Amino acid sequence: MIKTLVSPYSGFRSQKLNFDKSCKKVKPRAVSMELTITQPDDWHLHLRDGDLLQAVVPHSASNFRRAIVMPNLKPPVTTTAAAITYRESIMKALPLGSSFDPLMTLYLTDKTQPDEIKLARESGVVYAVKLYPAGATTNSQDGVTDLFGKCLPVLEEMVKQNMPLLVHGEVTDPSIDVFDREKIFIETVLQPLIQRLPELKVVMEHITTMDAVNFVESCKEGSVGATVTPQHLLLNRNALFQGGLQPHNYCLPVLKREIHRQAIVKAVTSGSKKFFLGTDSAPHERSKKEASCGCAGIYSAPVALSLYAKVFDEASAIDKLEAFTSFNGPDFYGLPRNSSKITLKNSPWKVPDVFSFSFGEIIPMFAGETLQWQPFFN
């Protein structure tokens, strides 16, 4: 439900164009609103473990009802037993009274067996299997080296069990330009995979290019979907270098050119059911980001809903926000939509500069910036 409030400035004659952090033009809004929607889920989330888990899980639990939790810990979550243990750790870290439901995943390796997929389905807590090409991103060194040569029996069992494959869609060949690795992955891995196993449900995670948009749109609805992050909707690769090197805007897959950002915005605000919310919120302690060899990952959990609302508002598509945040994901996974509601109010608030903990600091996405949309829970 959208409530529109007429601004006292709605009759002004001219507007000054501003530029946001991604170097794109943004027009000031002349109307304020509040929007009540079904509580969203996060279909791609890193919660880490240990002290970091304790620090960050309240942010996700306060905004989202469910989340697909990534398995790239040290050691990785490669078995159903490990996934159950990890879920228990998450549940213990939740704030008292939280209804947050972590949906677990397995980390696919060259040694994963089909029987593990059966166990995963029977567990009732594992909802997907994650493909990391070996060396593609944080803690992916144990990932897959030969998908068709070593993992085909597992993929066939996933089809039988209706278990989705979540794909980090980048090749790792060092001779391939880092900005082209998603495109090449689609051509050399993903398209052949879909042709070979057309009944396999696949989520292309954190898409970053026009090529990925076109690929997903070309696939059958319900068989291939895509998660989209706030950073790939709001930032282009200029954001890595404005005013000096910006480590807190560094993620993998890396930010791309403006034409790709625009293509992703157009896709998610079109009303297509193939795209859904997945923050890829990936916390790192500040000293590991601001380092000579900094970690990849953007911590967006505390601000993600505000940022998604910003994207849809600026695209004049705020009426399509609920489907993207709250309907398309559970529909793809065959899960019920949430019954709880949240209200997003056009009420400016400032993002904290830093979150401080006993072990160090975490810098959130858009730290110190003022955002227009703020979530309130009913």
Phi, psi (deg, nearest 5) at residue 139 = 55, 40
The number of residues in the chain equals 378
Helix (H, G, I), strand (E, B) or coil at 314: helix
The CA distance from 191 to 215, in Å, is: 8
Q: Look up residue 226 and give its two tokens.
A: 């895509």
**What sign does the CA torsion over 335, 336, 341, 344 have?**
positive
Phi, psi (deg, nearest 5) at residue 44 = -165, 105
Given the residues 41, 42, 44, 345, the one annotated as active site: 44
The CA distance from 317 to 309, in Å, is: 9
Given the residues 41, 42, 46, 274, the one annotated as active site: 46
Q: Exposed (0-12), middle (13-18) or buried (19+): which is 10, by Cβ within 10 Å? A: exposed
Given the residues 130, 201, 260, 274, the one annotated as active site: 130
Contact 231, 251 (CB under 8 A): yes
The CA distance from 144 to 122, in Å, is: 24
Given the residues 168, 274, 284, 345, the one annotated as active site: 168
Q: What is the DSSP letter of 144?
A: B
Query: Could you tell me which residues are beta bridge partners of residue 103?
Result: 68
Given the residues 41, 42, 142, 280, the one annotated as active site: 280
Angle, helix 80-93 to helix 50-63, in steps of 10 degrees: 70
Given the residues 59, 201, 206, 260, the one annotated as active site: 206
Q: Look up residue 153 and give its two tokens.
A: 């029996």
Question: Does residue 44 carry a catalytic annotation?
Answer: yes
The 10 Å Cβ neighbour count of residue 204 is 26
Reference 284, options 206, 234, 369, 355; nearest CA is 355
Catalytic residues: 44, 46, 130, 168, 206, 280
